[in-house]
């Protein structure tokens, strides 16, 4: 079964501290992994996808197939990073995304 | 492009009433998705279409929910009759193909009292 697990509902850090939002997935083939961000009462926006291997707003994520993980990292958190973060998986020829339950990141001044 | 457009943005309705949510996908996108977001269950896929044809509706909660896509630029999600437990944010999203980024609308905030 396809599944995305985000073990932390809430992650609270201070400004300038490193951040790691955990994501583990279950999928038998080669999935596409994504991170979406949702700022307060706004639409979900794509933050990054693993095939792009790019850094957006200082965030990076590496797909680790051995550990079936796609953790999101940022070395120095900013207050404006406070938002809900969703990890998502898209498998094979499927069109839809399967989302984790999300992690709320709170960056304190 | 204006992005995925949803209406209404907010709706408050009484239990038992019919609710119709509307979505206009990004022009040229051939996939359209309806998701529901709640505090308890997070983001759930309700149904998605490819080239106006429903592909997977296994996430539709029950017969009270129905979705249509009469053409490439319009889709509706209907709840009849509505119940308080249907209160949620309903997101429409679209993508150009199965391998491309999915873009979300701003959501329809539904409250059933």
Q: How far apart are CA A74 and CA A83, in angstroms?
A: 14
Looking at residues B23-42, what average pLDDT do you find?
A: 93
What is the per-residue pLDDT for B98?
Answer: 66
What is the per-residue pLDDT for A41?
Answer: 80
Smallest CA-to-CA distance from A34 within A8, A52, A19 is with: A52
CB contact under 8 A, A46 and B33: no
Looking at residues A51-80, what average pLDDT do you find?
A: 89
Residues 40-99 of A with CB under 8 A from B: 42-46, 49, 86, 90, 93-99
- DSSP of B30-45, one letter per residue? -EEEEEEEETTTEEEE
CA-nearest residue to B89 within chain A is: A41
Determine how many CB atoms are found less than 10 A away from the CB of residue B64: 15
The model's pLDDT over B46-105, given as tens digits with 9 standing for 90+, comes to 999 999 999 999 899 889 999 999 999 999 999 999 999 999 999 999 998 766 788 999
The model's pLDDT over A2-18, given as tens digits with 9 standing for 90+, comes to 899 999 999 999 999 99
CB contact under 8 A, B42 and A101: yes
pLDDT of B28 above 80: yes
What is the per-residue pLDDT for A96?
Answer: 79
Backbone dihedral region of B107: left (phi > 0), alpha (psi from -120 to 50 degrees) or beta?
A: left
Cα-flanking dihedrals φ and ψ of residue A67, to 5°? -95, 0
Residues of B in contact with A36 (CB under 8 A): 104
Token pair listed for B5:
């457009």
CB pairs under 8 A between A and B: 48
Looking at residues A15-22, what average pLDDT do you find?
A: 97
pLDDT of A95 above 80: no
What is the per-residue pLDDT for A23?
Answer: 97
- The C-alpha angle B77, B81, B86, rounded to 5 degrees, equals 65
């Amino acid at each position: 079964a396809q599944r995305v697990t985000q073990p932390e509902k809430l992650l609270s850090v201070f400004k300038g501290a490193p951040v790691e939002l955990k994501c583990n997935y279950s999928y038998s083939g080669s999935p596409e992994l994504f991170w979406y961000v949702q700022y307060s009462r706004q639409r979900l926006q794509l933050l990054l996808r693993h095939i792009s291997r790019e850094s957006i707003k200082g965030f990076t994520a590496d797909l680790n197939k051995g550990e079936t993980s796609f953790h999101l990292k940022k070395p120095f958190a900013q207050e404006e990073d406070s938002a809900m973060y969703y990890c998502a998986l898209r498998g094979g020829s499927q069109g839809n995304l399967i989302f984790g339950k999300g992690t709320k990141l709170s960056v304190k001044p | 492009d204006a992005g995925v457009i949803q209406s209404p943005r907010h709706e408050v309705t009484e239990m038992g009433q019919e609710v119709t949510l509307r979505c206009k996908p990004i022009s040229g996108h051939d996939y359209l998705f309806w998701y529901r977001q709640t505090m308890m269950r997070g983001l759930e896929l309700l149904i998605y279409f490819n080239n106006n044809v429903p592909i997977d509706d296994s996430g539709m909660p029950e017969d009270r929910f129905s979705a249509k896509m009469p053409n490439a630029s319009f889709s509706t999600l209907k709840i009849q009759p509505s119940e308080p437990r249907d209160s949620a944010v309903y997101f429409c999203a679209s993508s150009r193909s199965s391998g491309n980024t999915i873009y979300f609308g701003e959501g329809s905030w539904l409250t059933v009292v």
